[in-house]
Amino acid sequence: MELSTRRLLLREFRASDHAAVHTFASDTEVTHYTDWGPNSPSDTTTFLTEVTQDATSTPRHRFALAVVNREHNALIGSIELRVVSTSHQRAEIGYVLHRHSWGKGYASEAAITLLHFGFDELGLHKISATCDPNNAASTRVLTKIGMRLEGHLREHLHLRGRWRDRLVYAALSDNHPAQDTPR
């Protein structure tokens, strides 16, 4: 599957993406707030193996896509929508970009497109995301794409030796701006 935005292509991962993925996934600044990483080369191999397998499962629950800058045909990140409950039509999204691509609106552009896909193509009712309260860029992305803060989970994850809080953001299909925004 492929999704196109104004400046980006969201496409399936390939084994040959290893070097490009590993560049950002092994960067401690990039993974500072993530619940994974920094990746070893074998972590990145495992990620690519899993996502390419998940892409062929039926029904598909995990849509992990490479974020490609169309102008330079360069893989700059990863974005994912994971259906966590089919009966409740609910999914979660997450995203990560190479540091050199931060601050250009790419994450918001990719995430709004994935929300459209989840609501329009998969018929989901609710899409949520969690992030570290100190991750200002990510909380801003979630707000910009029309998600609302639903909760603050205290000491929710034990990461790299300490407890971390998580904010929960979500959008509903029937009152989300993605429904009105032209792609």
Ligand X SMILES: CC(C)(COP(=O)(O)OP(=O)(O)OC[C@H]1O[C@@H](n2cnc3c(N)ncnc32)[C@H](O)[C@@H]1OP(=O)(O)O)[C@@H](O)C(=O)NCCC(=O)NCCS
Tell me how far, at minimum, the Cβ of 76 lies from ligand X, in Å: 9
Tell me how far, at minimum, the Cβ of 105 lies from ligand X, in Å: 4
Cβ closest to ligand X, residue 140 vs residue 158: 140
Tell me how far, at minimum, the Cβ of 139 lies from ligand X, in Å: 8
Tell me how far, at minimum, the Cβ of 91 lies from ligand X, in Å: 15
Distance of CA 53 to the CA centre of its chain: 18
Which residues, in sequence order, are CB contacts of 129 under 8 Å at separation 6+?
A: 92, 93, 94, 142, 147, 168, 169, 170
If phi > 0 it is left, if psi is from -120 to 50 it is alpha, else beta; for residue 48 that is alpha
Residues of the shown chain interacting with ligand X in the complex, contacts defined by CB under 6 A: 30, 33-34, 94-97, 102-108, 131, 135-138, 140-141
The structure tokens 């590993």 sit at: 22
Cβ closest to ligand X, residue 53 vs residue 160: 160
Ranges of H-type helices in 31-176:
41-54, 106-116, 136-144
Total Cβ atoms within 10 A of residue 164:
17
Cβ closest to ligand X, residue 87 vs residue 129: 129
Cβ closest to ligand X, residue 48 vs residue 79: 79
